[in-house]
Amino acid sequence: HSGIRQRGSVLIEPGHHAEGFERFYPLPATAEERGPTTATRIQRFVQEAAPLGERACRAAFEQAQATAASITHLVTVSCTGMVSPGLDAQLIERLGLSPDVGRLNLGFMGCHGALNGLRAAQGLLQDSSPGRVLLCCVELCSLHFQYGWDMQKIIANGLFADGAGAVVLGGDEDGDQQGWQLVETRSRLAEDSSEAMTWRVGDHGFEMTLSSEVPRRIRGALRTWVEQWLAEHDLRLGDVRHWAIHPGGPEILRAARQALALPEQASHASETVLAEHGNMSSPTVLFVLERMRREGAAGPCVVLGFGPGLSFEAALLR
C-alpha cells in the first residue's frame, strides 16, 4: 500500500542484499529491545552522509556547468543527522570549495526542508549579487528505523528511505541551467496541528509520529492558501502547468490532488519518484523536479511540501 517498489539505504552494501541492514539492526532477543542507540546511528550518519552528498553536488555542478571556485555560498539541509563540524564542513573539503564560502545549515525541518533551502538560497543571492549558491539535501532515514509494532512506526519504516539531492542557483542571468527560475517561496503553519506530524530525538534514533489527520487537514486548508498566494502573482490554479508535490505517501498525494482539484496525471512525476526511491524526506522534491526537467516541463510550476507542524511550504518556478 506504500506505492514504493524499491528504496535505497546506506546500510545495504552492493552485492550483499539486506545483510548490512540486518547487521546494523539485529533481530531483537526480547520485546523490550529498541536497536542501536541514537549515538550509534549518528556515528553512521557522519560516515555516510558526506560521500552521498558529494555525489549529488558533483552531478549538480555538471548540470549547471559550475565549478567549485564559482560557489559563494553553501546551504546544507538534513533532519536525520546532527554533528558539528558537520556536513557543510565535510562538503567544503571533499568538493574543494573555498574555505571562505558562506555556510548555512538547516536542520530538523523534515520533508519540506528543500523548500526552506531554496528560500535561504534566494535570500543569499539577493544579498550577495553576483553569487552562486550550492544547495545540498542529504537524508539517511534508514538510520532511524524503529523496532516494535506501533502502527505509526510501521508506517514510517515502510515509507522512508535514504537519498541526496543538490542544485546550483544563480550565475545565469536567464535563469539557472536547470531551466527553472525561482520566483518566490511561501510558508504556512497550520493551526491546532502541532501533534499531527512530529519528528523528535529519542534514545534509539529519531522518532516520527504521522497522524491520519494529515490528509484531512491538507484537504481542508491547502486550496485557499495556494489560491491566495497565486493571486498575488496574477495566477490561478488553472494557470499552473506542472505540480511538483512532495510524495510523502500515496494518501498525501491523493489529498493534495483532491484539495486542488487536480487530475491524477498532475502527480505522475511524484508517484514515479516515490515508487523508485521512496520518501527520502527533504531531497525528494528535487528528484521530482529533476524528472520533470528531463521530461521537458516548463513553468509556471508550483512545488509543494508538507512537514512537521503541520506546515505547508510552496515555491513558484517559471
Please identify every residue annotated as catalytic. 111
Q: Are 109 and 172 in contact (CB under 8 A)?
A: no
Task: With beta carbons less than 8 A apart as the criterion, state whether 46 and 78 touch.
Answer: no
C-alpha distances in angstroms, 184 versus 20, 123, 170? 42, 10, 14
On whether the CB atoms of residues 120 and 75 are closer than 8 A, the answer is: yes
Q: How far is CA 150 from the centre of its chain?
A: 25
The Cα–Cα gap between 177 and 255 comes to 32
Are residues 235 and 256 in contact, defined by beta-carbon separation less than 8 angstroms? no
Tell which residue, 120, 184, 175, 198, has the closest CA to residue 314.
184
Report residue 58 CA to chain centroid gap.
18
Is the Cα torsion angle 51, 73, 71, 165 positive or negative in sign? Answer: positive
Cβ atoms of 196 and 190 within 8 Å: the answer is yes
DSSP string covering 118-143: HHHHHHHHHHSSS--EEEEEEEEGGG
